[in-house]
Amino acid sequence: MRVVIIGPAYPLRGGLATYNERLARAFRAAGDEVHLVTFSLQYPDFLFPGQTQFSTEPGPADLSIDVSINSVNPFTWLKVGRQLRRERPDLVIFRFWLPFMGPALGTIARLVRGNGHTRVVAITDNVIPHEKRPGDRPLTRYFLGACHGFVTMSRAVLADLRRLHFRQPAQYQPHPLYDNFGPIRPQAEALRTLGLDPAYRYLLFFGFIRAYKGLDVLLEAFADERLRELPLKLIVAGEYYEDAAPYEALIRQHNLEHRLVRATDFIPNERVADYFCAADLIVQPYKNATQSGVSQIAYHFERPMLVTDVGGLAELIPDGEVGYVVPPTPWAIADALADFATHPERQAHFEEGTRRYKQQFSWSEMVKALKAVAGSAHS
């Protein structure tokens, strides 16, 4: 099968690019011919809250990547769409995560499927975005209406599709493991690499810092009196994608500075293993969510997790087996952190749980799901 994946990829950086490149390798392992098409301009600078959109790491020499879509230049949409319509791949997979991308991706999808041969399937991270803006719904509908089918990585997103009355074939398939950050490292080695004191236990908040991810809720929880005297530190590893001032105010208000480890720059792929393997518990205090790639990195490194019971997060984290599922409040999170910190035996139990549950999250199953949806779709 000839497959094209359209979405973020090198030279862009971040979790979406990492995912799409890993998916391309999974298709290739299944015997398919695969090519990626990515953005020459993903976001205009005024819409991008981070430091840079581009990777400083070497590109993947084993993948075919065409850097050609400008998200605000319709001429590039037409060029890419017409080229793919002529080339007639069997399957084009779009990664859809943000309404802003609806016009570009929807236009390309409509042109491609016009050849009557190519099947267009979207991996829909979200159909109702975390941070809502005017115009979200019509932009999303424009893209979704161009697709033959969908694969979602949470049941919550599948339900959202049906609420929006999209009846194309759709399938839920859990987010596969992020197994591309290297093998599990001994915790002592990871702590040495990061220069961290092994006398402490470490909580890890990982990823871009945005309002919906609830770092403010976690800081409030970490200020709980039960945790203050325990040998416990919080690592904040990820780039601010919004104003840092409110978080800094909370840190000062609760006198948390000496209990934090800051790594608030973009974490390159080669450093991800150090942070996860150094941590005793991965904390995702999200206020709303659909699914999270952070969970799948934690599963790969067999780290216990605490997640909030929002969106699709709890679907993949059995409470009491691989960690904690709690309401998204400072008090509930603090209760779980206190339990974990004062019962050291929990860690071994949760780690064993991650080893059992991680087996279900394979890339080959995602490939099968995408092909199954494409096969059941009609023109």
pLDDT digits (tens, 9 = 90+) for 181-205: 999 999 999 999 999 999 999 999 9
Same domain, 245 and 160: no
Residue 49 is predicted with a pLDDT of 56
Does 379 score more than 90 pLDDT? no
Domain assignment present for 330: yes
What CATH number should be reported for the domain holding residue 310?
3.40.50.2000
Same domain, 368 and 294: no
Same domain, 220 and 268: yes
Same domain, 369 and 353: no
Handedness of CA 57, 16, 274, 184 (dihedral sign): negative
Under the banding of pLDDT at 50, 70 and 90, the label for residue 13 is: confident
Domain assignment present for 181: no
Same domain, 134 and 257: no
pLDDT digits (tens, 9 = 90+) for 284-310: 999 987 677 899 999 999 999 999 998
Domain assignment present for 337: yes
Domain assignment present for 50: yes
Tell me the three state secondary structure of residue 230: coil
What is the percent of the chain with per-residue pLDDT over 90, rounded to a whole number? 77
First to last CA, the chain: 18
Same domain, 127 and 196: no
Whole-angstrom distance, CA of residue 109 vs CA of residue 246: 41
Tell me the three state secondary structure of residue 369: helix
- Give helix then strand counts, H and E, for the chain: 14, 13
Domain assignment present for 182: no
Same domain, 286 and 303: yes
Render 120-146 in DSSP notation, one character per residue: EEEEES-SS-SS--TTHHHHHHHHHTT
Same domain, 210 and 335: yes
Render 150-207 in DSSP notation, one character per residue: EEESSHHHHHHHHHTT--S-EEE-PPPP---S-----HHHHHHHHT--TTSEEEEEES
In the predicted model, what is the mean pLDDT of residues 235-254?
93
Same domain, 25 and 45: yes
Under the banding of pLDDT at 50, 70 and 90, the label for residue 156 is: confident
Amino acid identity, residue 258?
Answer: H
The total domain count for the chain is 2
Same domain, 163 and 225: no
Does 51 score more than 60 pLDDT? no
Domain assignment present for 313: yes
Under the banding of pLDDT at 50, 70 and 90, the label for residue 364 is: very high
In the predicted model, what is the mean pLDDT of residues 32-53?
78
In the predicted model, what is the mean pLDDT of residues 330-351?
96
Between 360 and 86, residue with greater pLDDT = 86
pLDDT digits (tens, 9 = 90+) for 132-153: 777 888 999 999 999 999 999 9
Residue 241 is predicted with a pLDDT of 83
What is the reported pTM? Answer: 0.82
Q: For residue 58, what are the contacts with CB-CB under 8 A and spacing of at least 6?
A: none
* Domain extent at residue 232: 187-360
Residue 378 is predicted with a pLDDT of 65
